[in-house]
Amino acid sequence: MSAIVRHYGLPFSEPMAFGLSSALTFAFLPFIKISGQPLVSYRMPPRTILRGLQKPLRFSMRTETFRRPEDGMARLDQLLDAGQVVGLQASVFWLPFMPPDFRFHFNAHNLLAFGRDEASGDYLLSDPVLEEPVRCASADLAKARFARGLLAPKGLLYYPAHAPQEPAWEQAIPAAIKKTTRNMLRTPLPFIGVRGINRVARAFERLPAAANPQATKLYIGHLIRMQEEIGTGGGGFRFMYAAFLEEAATRMARPALAELAAQLVEIGDLWREFALATARMIRDRDPLDPAHLATLLRAQAAREKTFFTSLEKAVRRS
Amino acid sequence: MDTTDVPQEGSATYGGHLKAMYARNPDGRLVLVQSRGWEVEETVTRQAVLAFEELAAAALERVRAGQSAPLEVHMYRARMDVSVLAQASGLWRWQVRRHLRPAVFARLSKALRARYAQVLGIEPDQLDVID
């Protein structure tokens, strides 16, 4: 995301994009299943992140989907020829450059196309999971962009309609932070934010650890995969948000935010400890005890509640 | 997490790639550090991969015993289950489940076989091959 903005010569970091679009959250949606496991997310879906950036950066993002793969590929070529960088949604499973163990049927994966190799016709892509640019054959990319199923990408591509502008930091940052705290503390839905974490804790307590240890392990392992494997940062994006708060503190000369960033780093560390405790149970190094994990989760929920409450106060005071 | 604590355990699941993580440097600033992998992450990734491998192995047994169609093995090898395969192929779940029966699978039309093969990313004549 931030790479698209940087393409227009605006210095803009990944954490800043993450924070300005109020992307940090916690969502536990047990009624949406991914390979039989509940959808758990520690951040907003990419499309929301894009939309969230439009207002502070005063630009509009054009999004297009296609019915026929040929149309979608032709449009991509056209945009690349015009010198655009284009964001794409694709299924992870059909991208041949992904490490094999990462390739699951997850359709809401986003990457960036920035060019095409004339000789081979391969696309040049930048993938957030991998640190260096990769190339991908046209047929493979078409298959990945037009995979069907849950959250089907339908060839979604997006690009800025005109160049983004330097945001008004003084307004944009507090507004974005307020949106995040509201999301974490006061959503009417019981499965979003701090209440969502408590709800996962309850789901953990109900797991049939004794009767079906295998299913229990898959369930708790799935939660950790969503936390650590998806995207950069680890600690369920808490570290990235902390980096945003730190940047915001310097930009707005508000040292209180930097102190809060330090607190959030500690919360992120505890998320990682929770992941470690879970992995030890999966590997049978510790006895399988989801109730204990639930206690850890509840403690995390309490900590995040305190944290976001003080964050809310810190921005309100201005 | 401090920059010195960023795990560098070389997860096999990364396939030699690196992953960027935010960590605190000695000055207390958050910076990006490349990680070569964390054992915890490797554990849960392998767990998910293994779950599908076990399903495929169990399906293979059933196919050999004549209780299931080769399609089931291909399905799990492509890391799909019945609902994912149904959504990807545009069929109903009950249709896919029915096609997993050996007798029904043997009578599958050319068009349906081509559809499954396309979704699974293999050639239509490979559908019967499970070894």
Number of domains in chain B: 2
Is there a single domain that holds both residue A142 and residue A108? yes
B44 and A218: CB-CB below 8 Å?
no
The encoded tokens of residue A257 equal 């935010």
ipTM above 0.95, yes or no: no
B84 and A35: CB-CB below 8 Å?
yes
The encoded tokens of residue B33 equal 């550090």
Q: For residue B7, what are the domain limits?
A: 3-37
The CATH number linked to B102 is 1.10.260
What is the least distance, in Å, from the CA of A109 to any CA of chain B? 16
Torsion of Cα atoms, A98 then A65 then A230 then A149, to 10°: -80
Is there a single domain that holds both residue A204 and residue A55? no
The encoded tokens of residue A92 equal 């992870």
pTM: 0.86
- Of A140, A160, A180, the residue that ends a domain is A160
A150 and B87: CB-CB below 8 Å?
yes
Window A:209-238, CB contacts with B under 8 Å? 217-218, 221-222, 224-225, 228-229, 232-235
Is residue A46 one of the residues assigned to a domain?
yes
Is there a single domain that holds both residue A200 and residue A312? yes
A101 and B89: CB-CB below 8 Å?
no
Is there a single domain that holds both residue A9 and residue A153? yes
Is there a single domain that holds both residue A47 and residue A150? yes
The region, left, alpha or beta by phi > 0 then psi within -120 to 50, assigned to residue A92 is: alpha
Whether residue A176 lies within 8 A of chain B, CB to CB, comes out as no
Is there a single domain that holds both residue B67 and residue B122? yes
pLDDT tens over chain A, length 318 residues: 677 788 877 788 888 988 999 989 899 998 888 777 888 888 887 778 888 888 888 888 888 999 999 999 999 999 999 988 898 999 989 999 988 888 888 887 888 898 898 888 899 998 877 777 889 999 999 999 999 887 788 999 988 888 888 888 888 999 999 999 999 999 888 899 999 999 999 999 998 888 898 889 999 998 888 888 766 555 768 988 999 999 999 988 888 999 999 999 999 999 999 999 999 999 988 899 999 999 999 999 999 999 999 999 998 865
- Of A118, A137, A160, the residue that ends a domain is A160
Note whether A91 and A103 are within 8 A (CB): no
Whether residue B13 lies within 8 A of chain A, CB to CB, comes out as yes
Is residue A24 one of the residues assigned to a domain?
no
A100 and B15: CB-CB below 8 Å?
yes
Q: For residue A153, what are the domain limits?
A: 2-19+29-160
Is there a single domain that holds both residue B78 and residue B30? no
CB-based burial of residue B41 (10 Å sphere; 0-12 exposed, 13-18 middle, 19+ buried)? buried
Number of domains in chain A: 2
B17 and A99: CB-CB below 8 Å?
yes
- Of A114, A133, A160, the residue that ends a domain is A160
